[in-house]
Amino acid sequence: MELPSVNIKKVLYTTDLSWSARYAFSYALSLAGKYEASLVILHVIEEIPNFDQRIIGYITEAQWKEIRDRRENEAREQLIGKRRDSGVIRDVLDKFYETAVSEAAAQTFGSDEIVLERGNAVQKILEVAEDRQCDLIVMGAHGHGTLADAMLGSTAQRVLRRATVPVLTVRLPD
């Protein structure tokens, strides 16, 4: 059997801004550098249709609003400061990218792009990979093993099942 030649020209790195995703970024940078490939960084702001209506059946609307507001404030304070718009998330991604690239100065790779999308994470990852003709998807895998992951499948698991290009999932070391 003759093995096919592997030629990676464009790497799609997906991030949810978690520690797992940050760790996976080193793999994406390394692979882009080794193959002299361009790097596309994608962050998806997840929107779950009709989620508010479904959760209200379990808790009151006031409780859900309090939880949602608290989580939004925590995320804003931790990731994007006090501003609410998606432009701030782009600024965070830009800064993250600049810092990582400066730390990996020995690596060489082509022009890079930062993409910010809204919607279903799996769908957007697959769309960006196809639209930008990516040869590889690199993403972090949380590996929590929660009941939700078992029932619904994690984002990484769903991307693995549906992607038409290879997917590298990177777990945090123990």
pLDDT digits (tens, 9 = 90+) for 29-39: 889 988 999 99
Residue 85 is predicted with a pLDDT of 45
Higher pLDDT, 145 or 169: 169
Residue that has been written with the tokens 């409780």 in this structure: 63
Q: What is the mean pLDDT of residues 6-30?
A: 89
CATH top-level class for 10-47+85-171?
alpha beta
Q: Is the pTM of this model over 0.75?
A: no
pLDDT digits (tens, 9 = 90+) for 99-157: 666 665 555 555 578 888 878 899 999 999 999 999 999 999 875 555 444 444 588 99
Residue 83 is predicted with a pLDDT of 41
C-alpha span between 75 and 97 (Å, rounded)? 19
Conformational region of residue 70, where left means phi above 0, alpha means psi within -120 to 50, and beta covers everything else: alpha
Which residue type does 147 have?
A: L
Domain segments of the chain as ranges = 10-47+85-171
